[in-house]
Structure 1
Amino acid sequence: MSLPPMDTRVTYPAGDLRSTGTVVHAEPFGDHLAVVLDQTACHPVDAAWPDQPADQGTITFGDGDRAVEVAISDCVVGATDGSALFIGDAVPVRKGTEGWAFLAVHLVYPTASEAAQVGATARVDIDDTTRRALSAGHTGCHLASLALNAALADAWRKDVALDTLGAPDFDALACSSSRISPRGSTDHYRVGKSLRRKGFDPAALDDLDGLAERIGRILAGWTASDAAVRIDRDGELLTDRRSWRCELPGGPAIIPCGGTHAGSLAEFSTVAVWLEREEVEGAVGFSMITTVVPAG
């Protein structure tokens, strides 16, 4: 059994919804068939930080009368050192580890087994509606995290790492999980002893409604700017560094990110947040729910 010696080439960072590649590996995986292509437009979910779900779509193996089209049940990041294929939570190393290839693994039903042979041509078609909704949610998530940092900038008594816009990076220090949904996201924040030792004053969270209003005002100003958004990338391979860049009025916001995004804030009518108090891992915390309303 041969396994790919290099990362999957991915075209979704450029916004592609269709790609044509070649099957380089296929093997059974539970009730599914795990299929690896040399190139794909399908965004995979990464078990190491599963914020954005996988794209939805189909793979068509072959062409003409013998073409076989199947739905993509899921697409996950996998890895191999040449000895075996590890998928999702089973990947034992971090992305970029030397000697490992990191792959977009498409999970399809076994009805495609005969068609998904190594060397077969495979066309990937991604559902545009789902991609746009998740991309909007991811862009809104980044904007909300930066607005949260700005709204809490006066709550720090010590110097800490700053975000891309120069505010203390509360999001990076306190976020315990982040999940992107169609035109939205949910982020959970934990305010424990370590954050207090770093100089954060938890009293800044006493009035969550007031905090949400401040965040909303910041988001309204940014959304009204119709700022351009793009993904900068060092290369086309799955593990090549990629960054989200948004040309906000006060200067560009740049955040390392492997997901998909809207092309401009002109696509949004509003980005709204609400905050809910909760206990996270035994510590005081809150969740931030972000909703993106499309323009028009």
Structure 2
Amino acid sequence: MNIGGSTLVSYPAGEVRGRSAVVATFPVGGRHGTVVAETPFHPLDHTWPDQPADTGTIGGLPVADCVTGAVMEGEETVHLGPDIPVRRGTPGWSWLVVHVTDAPVTDTEVELAVEAEARRALSAGHTACHLAALALNAALAGRWRKEVPADGLGHPDFDQTAITSSRIVPGGSVDVYRLGKSLRRRGFSAEGLSAELPEIAERANALLKEWVAADAPVWIDSPGPELTARRTWHCGLPGAEVSIPCGGTHLSRTSELGAVAVALDLSEDGAELTMRTTAG
């Protein structure tokens, strides 16, 4: 299968439409996979499946799924999602956006159209997720007894230290943090956390309200158009520009969120903290 290199992607710039040459088609279970040279579709990333895949059409056909694929140079088999046997960027492999449809794509060049409202809702959720993580870091800063890596605002990075899963949903996100022995050894104190959760959420929400009102700019820095490019989310918050590695989609200003709020829940055994973020 002559793919000719990794798929080029335009979604980091906010694109939702495009036209491109078809470079490969192949069966995917009982469905059909199509790879094009360049796409506006954001696929599900199997390595950190936080943001769901875009929906829309390719060549007029509904896209039932959109996933990451990889094929070794000179080989015919396209590996999909968790079946990919190598790390992203491994030399000799092409990394692909695979559009899955119920019917085969037969044209050699196709129009691609992402459902714009669905994309915007996920972009709002992802932007709010990053802001919420920064606000939570600030609200929990006083619970650290040891020095740990700091986030872009100088607070101990609880989010990156403790997170076990993150799921972007339309207009929000659900993030789960592990409060186990490993985190305590690193210096985090969970003593009395349950009783203090309302106050912690209040502190985080006050920051979020301030950041949304600031109408801060948001942008994605990408070193190239390839799917494998390591992209970074940036936000010019009051007093500091922050950055977080991220391959998702986002809004362009914090004011577009309307409002952001978090709710915090602790599991009965105190081992997990769940943060639910809503925007709008």
Q: Is the 8 A contact 1:155 1:204 kept in 2?
A: no
| 2:138 partner SS | helix
> Offset of 1:285 from its aligned partner?
1.1
> Offset of 1:93 from its aligned partner?
1.4
C-alpha distance in structure 2 between counterparts of 1:270 and 1:241, whole Å: 29
1:236 corresponding residue in structure 2:
225
Out of 136, 147, 150, the residue aligned to residue 159 of structure 1 is 147
Out of 80, 100, 104, the residue aligned to residue 112 of structure 1 is 104
RMSD between superposed Cα atoms in Å:
1.3
C-alpha distance in structure 1 between counterparts of 2:216 and 2:32, whole Å: 42
| 1:218 partner SS | helix
How does the TM-score come out when normalised to structure 1?
A: 0.91
| 2:130 partner SS | helix
Q: How many residues align?
A: 277
Gaps of 5+ in 1: 61-68
Q: Choose 214-223 or 133-142, whichever is displaced more.
A: 214-223
2:130 corresponding residue in structure 1:
142
Q: Does 1:99 align with 2:92?
A: yes
Q: Does 1:264 align with 2:253?
A: yes
What per-residue deviation string (whole Å, max 9, x for no partner) do you get for residues 72-124 of structure 1? 01111111113220001111112111211111011011x225x15xxx00110
Out of 30, 47, 63, the residue aligned to residue 72 of structure 1 is 63
Identity level (%): 48
1:14 corresponding residue in structure 2:
13
C-alpha distance in structure 2 between counterparts of 1:234 and 1:292, whole Å: 29
Out of 177, 188, 203, the residue aligned to residue 191 of structure 2 is 203
1:222 corresponding residue in structure 2:
211
1:58 corresponding residue in structure 2:
57
> Offset of 1:204 from its aligned partner?
5.8
Quick one: which amino acid aligns to residue 182 of structure 1? P
Q: Choose 129-138 or 203-212, whichever is displaced more.
A: 203-212
What per-residue deviation string (whole Å, max 9, x for no partner) do you get for residues 107-156 of structure 1? 011x225x15xxx0011001110011000000000000000011111111
How does the TM-score come out when normalised to structure 2?
A: 0.96
Structure 1 residues 118-137: aligned runs within 5 Å: 120-137=108-125
Q: Is the 8 A contact 2:128 2:257 kept in 1?
A: no
Gaps of 5+ in 2: none
| 2:277 partner SS | strand
1:27 corresponding residue in structure 2:
26
What per-residue deviation string (whole Å, max 9, x for no partner) do you get for residues 37-80 of structure 1? 110000001111100001110011xxxxxxxx200011111111
C-alpha distance in structure 1 between counterparts of 2:118 and 2:54, whole Å: 7
> Offset of 1:283 from its aligned partner?
6.5
> Offset of 1:250 from its aligned partner?
2.0
C-alpha distance in structure 2 between counterparts of 1:150 and 1:266, whole Å: 21
Structure 1 runs of 4+ off > 3 angstroms? none
> Offset of 1:3 from its aligned partner?
3.6
C-alpha distance in structure 2 between counterparts of 1:183 and 1:49, whole Å: 19
Q: Is the 8 A contact 1:57 1:125 kept in 2?
A: yes
> Offset of 1:163 from its aligned partner?
1.0
Quick one: which amino acid aligns to residue 212 of structure 2? T
Q: Choose 134-143 or 283-292, whichever is displaced more.
A: 283-292
Q: Is the 8 A contact 1:77 1:87 kept in 2?
A: yes
Quick one: which amino acid aligns to residue 14 of structure 1? A
